């Protein structure tokens, strides 16, 4: 008995023991995951996710989650806790950290400024994600099952039994599932099954999308949830991100029943559409935008509301000069969800008013009052993640080779000024102060930032003269593993000295999500001012070429003397004639998916220019997303 007790004590000590530090929530972006660490206490919700990365995205969207801990199947013998994602908050913004084998912990992305997405395309072999099984089909493969889920109003996730499943009667059966939270109630390991999530958030659903909001209309269906919002557009945004909201009704500030004014009713129905519409003044109704074939917006409310007070739990009070400063304070305070600014009429106070930073359990005001002189609004924290790249930009010319203004607004021209000023390479705007280009463009220039100029929003090199605005380069970051372009890691970042003002002529392109290499892009273009033949010259007008992507296997056959790694991607034509060339290096391989342009590749190397059987080789950007985020978040 003594030996058993001693063994247990040793096992517990090895599995869990307190360390001397605390997890501290800071105002900096913290993307690192901590293996074998568990944040103790502060639980606000527990769900189940297949990975820690997925848990981190869920934490970011949750109104209160600041930190999280994920329990892998190695963390405990209790299978009911496998894959648990524990969302956490802390009044002090700190939590004690405990060592736990198999636990993975981290922070929400709320303090980050990179793009995030609720789109989750991964499928999980051997995972049985549990929920309410409400429909079943026999499908030919898991992709058909995924499509069924994506195009079903209620489906959150699915499980598919493969052809080798132990029960012959259940082979090729696709189970569509839902839960109250939108996440599995449990995840079990099971042989010969595959699970995944609906792709509605990926803008690929074929269901009807209704963007209109209908005045003087009430949808009389089951209320999934209720909260207070200042207008029907915020109500619609919240409905879009709610796991079970299909449509909504908003009661305006002029609604006759005072206690129901500004009430946002999130609704659903078994059929997926409203069963009854009632005509009533001062009411607005509409639909979730989750089914729309566009990038689902981040949960961001940018408007401010005059003569409006948001009620909630007060976090802090400051004296500030105006409501804009108050909103900035709220955005910079990680637990602040919304604010109210009360102007001061006192002359001795030099016009300053009081700024009340507030929060609630669901991220919305617990009550909204009018006529008291306040100005209210929401944190803009998540708005920082709605990268301007999510604006749809469609090519204005089909065919031809010359580009026009605003056609490729992320394309920049990188100039070197010594011994004479000339175009050196291309690059892509990916953030307010960040340009992504090729490492080989900067060989020998690592310490020569003063010799570089970034020109944005131009199409013709002849536009550039002495007075043309440009961005000075503050910092050069070359991938630490870069040696030669054809060895890989041909990627570099340029940080410009002052932020780029986004306009229709200059704005960022979206970075792909990590793992987007599985997507089959069919609309890809290479752009640049490079040579149009091997012994040519820099072109005056920005050129564009449509190029098909090529498999790694076919590309390797074309380059037998080189290694085509999984961090490269190839594009071009078997017959040659169309390709990137000298001067295009560092520029974008831009691919459009569901109306959104993504930076899939960086022009890197090739055998000559447009030679038959030798496609262009590009740095595969989705393989470097972590590296980019790490270096642009500092």
Q: What is the pLDDT of residue 256?
A: 97
Q: What is the pLDDT of residue 17?
A: 40
Helix (H/G/I), strand (E/B), else coil: 352: coil
Query: What are the distances in angstroms from CA 265 to CA 17, 176, 222, 268?
Result: 46, 26, 9, 10
Give the residue numbers annotated as catalytic, written as ranges.
440, 490, 585
Q: Say yes or no: do domains 213-287 and 304-385 share a fold.
A: yes
CB 160 within 8 A of CB 204: no
- The CATH architecture one would assign to domain 389-633 is Beta Barrel (2.40)
The single residue listed with the structure tokens 């293996």 is 35
Regions of the chain where pLDDT drops below 50: 1-20, 295, 347-348, 391-400, 579
What residues does each domain of the chain span? 33-107, 130-202, 213-287, 304-385, 389-633
65 alpha carbon, distance to own chain's centre: 17
In angstroms, the CA 97 to CA 27 distance is: 19
State the pairing for strand pair 452-456/543-546.
unpaired
Closest to 299 in 3D by CA, of 208, 425, 385, 189? 385
Q: What does the pLDDT look like over 229-275, one tens digit per residue?
A: 999 989 998 999 999 999 999 999 999 999 999 999 999 999 999 99
> Residue 8: left if φ>0, alpha if ψ -120 to 50, beta else—which one?
alpha
Residue 32 CB coordination number (10 Å): 10
CB 84 within 8 A of CB 71: yes
* CATH number belonging to domain 304-385: 3.50.4.10
Q: What is the pLDDT of residue 209?
A: 78
Q: What is the pLDDT of residue 608?
A: 61
Rg (CA), the chain: 27
Residue 257 CB coordination number (10 Å): 8
Query: What are the distances in angstroms from CA 257 to CA 85, 260, 263, 369?
Result: 41, 6, 10, 13
501 alpha carbon, distance to own chain's centre: 21
Using H for helix, E for strand and C for coil, what is the string for 297-315? CCCCCCCEEEEEEEECEEE
Q: What does the pLDDT look like over 41-93, one tens digit per residue?
A: 999 999 999 999 999 999 999 999 999 999 999 999 999 999 999 999 999 88
Closest to 461 in 3D by CA, of 545, 536, 402, 380? 402
Residue 275 CB coordination number (10 Å): 12
Closest to 249 in 3D by CA, of 282, 271, 297, 292? 282
- DSSP single-letter state for residue 564: -
* CATH number belonging to domain 213-287: 3.50.4.10
- Provide the token pair at 441: 């463009």
- Provide the token pair at 151: 């195009």
339 alpha carbon, distance to own chain's centre: 25
Helix (H/G/I), strand (E/B), else coil: 518: helix
Global pTM? 0.63
Q: What is the pLDDT of residue 49?
A: 98
Q: What is the pLDDT of residue 503?
A: 73
In angstroms, the CA 631 to CA 634 distance is: 6
* CATH number belonging to domain 33-107: 3.50.4.10
In angstroms, the CA 278 to CA 331 distance is: 39
In angstroms, the CA 36 to CA 488 distance is: 32
In angstroms, the CA 539 to CA 545 distance is: 14
CB 452 within 8 A of CB 445: yes
Fold that domain 130-202 belongs to in CATH: Hepatocyte Growth Factor (3.50.4)
């Amino acid at each position: 008995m003594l030996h058993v007790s001693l063994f247990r004590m040793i096992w517990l000590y090895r599995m869990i023991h307190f360390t001397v530090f605390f997890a501290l929530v800071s105002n900096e972006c913290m993307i690192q995951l901590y293996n074998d660490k568990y944040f103790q206490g502060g639980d606000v919700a527990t769900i189940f996710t297949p990975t820690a990365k997925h848990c981190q995205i869920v934490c970011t969207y949750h109104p209160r989650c600041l930190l999280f801990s994920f329990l892998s199947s190695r963390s405990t013998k209790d299978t009911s806790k496998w894959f648990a994602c524990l969302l956490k908050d802390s009044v002090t913004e700190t939590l004690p950290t405990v060592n736990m084998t198999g636990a993975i912990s981290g922070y929400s992305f709320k303090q980050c400024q990179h793009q995030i997405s609720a789109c989750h395309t991964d499928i999980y072999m051997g995972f049985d994600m549990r929920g309410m099984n409400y429909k079943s089909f026999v499908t030919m493969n898991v992709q058909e099952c995924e499509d069924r889920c994506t195009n079903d109003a209620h489906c959150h996730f699915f499980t598919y039994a493969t052809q080798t499943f132990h029960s012959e009667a259940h082979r090729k059966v696709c189970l569509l599932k839902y839960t109250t939270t939108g996440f599995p109630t449990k995840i079990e390991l099971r042989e010969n099954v595959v699970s995944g999530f609906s792709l509605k958030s990926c803008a690929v659903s074929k269901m009807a999308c209704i963007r209109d909001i209908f005045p003087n209309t009430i949808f009389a269906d089951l209320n999934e949830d209720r909260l207070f919002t200042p207008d029907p557009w915020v109500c619609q945004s919240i409905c879009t991100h709610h796991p079970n909201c299909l449509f909504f009704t908003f009661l305006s500030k002029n609604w006759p029943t005072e206690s129901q004014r500004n009430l946002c009713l999130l609704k659903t129905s078994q059929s997926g559409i409203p069963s009854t519409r009632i005509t009533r003044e001062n009411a607005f109704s509409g639909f979730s935008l989750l089914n729309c074939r566009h990038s689902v917006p981040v949960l961001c409310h940018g408007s401010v509301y005059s003569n409006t007070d948001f009620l909630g739990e007060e976090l802090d009070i400051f004296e500030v000069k105006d409501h804009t400063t108050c909103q900035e304070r709220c955005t910079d305070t990680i637990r602040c969800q919304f604010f109210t600014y009360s102007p001061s009429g006192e002359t001795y106070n030099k016009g300053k008013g009081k700024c009340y930073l507030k929060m609630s359990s669901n991220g919305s005001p617990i009550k909204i009052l009018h006529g008291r002189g306040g100005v209210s609004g929401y944190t803009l924290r998540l708005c920082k993640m709605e990268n301007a790249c999510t604006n749809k930009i469609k090519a204005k010319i089909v065919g031809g080779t010359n580009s026009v203004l605003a056609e490729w607004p992320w394309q920049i021209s990188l100039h070197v000024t010594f011994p004479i000023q000339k175009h050196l390479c291309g690059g892509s705007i990916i953030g307010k102060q960040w340009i992504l280009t090729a490492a080989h463009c900067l060989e020998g220039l690592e310490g020569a930032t003063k010799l570089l100029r970034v020109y944005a929003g131009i199409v013709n090199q002849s536009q550039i003269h002495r007075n043309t605005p440009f961005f000075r380069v503050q910092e050069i970051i070359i991938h630490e593993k870069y040696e030669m372009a054809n060895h890989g890691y041909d990627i570099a970042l340029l940080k410009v000295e002052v932020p780029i003002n986004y306009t229709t002529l200059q704005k960022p392109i979206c970075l792909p999500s990590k793992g987007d290499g599985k997507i089959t892009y069919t609309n890809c273009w290479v752009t640049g001012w490079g040579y149009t033949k091997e012994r040519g010259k820099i072109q005056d007008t920005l050129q564009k070429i449509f190029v098909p992507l090529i498999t790694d296997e076919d590309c390797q056959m074309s380059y037998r003397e080189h290694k085509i790694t999984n961090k490269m991607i190839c594009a071009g034509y078997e017959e040659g004639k169309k390709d990137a060339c000298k001067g295009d290096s560092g520029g974008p391989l831009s691919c459009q998916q569901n109306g959104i342009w993504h930076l899939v590749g960086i022009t890197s190397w090739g055998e000559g220019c447009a030679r038959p059987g030798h496609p262009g080789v590009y740095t595969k950007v989705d393989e470097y997303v972590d590296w980019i985020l790490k270096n642009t978040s500092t």
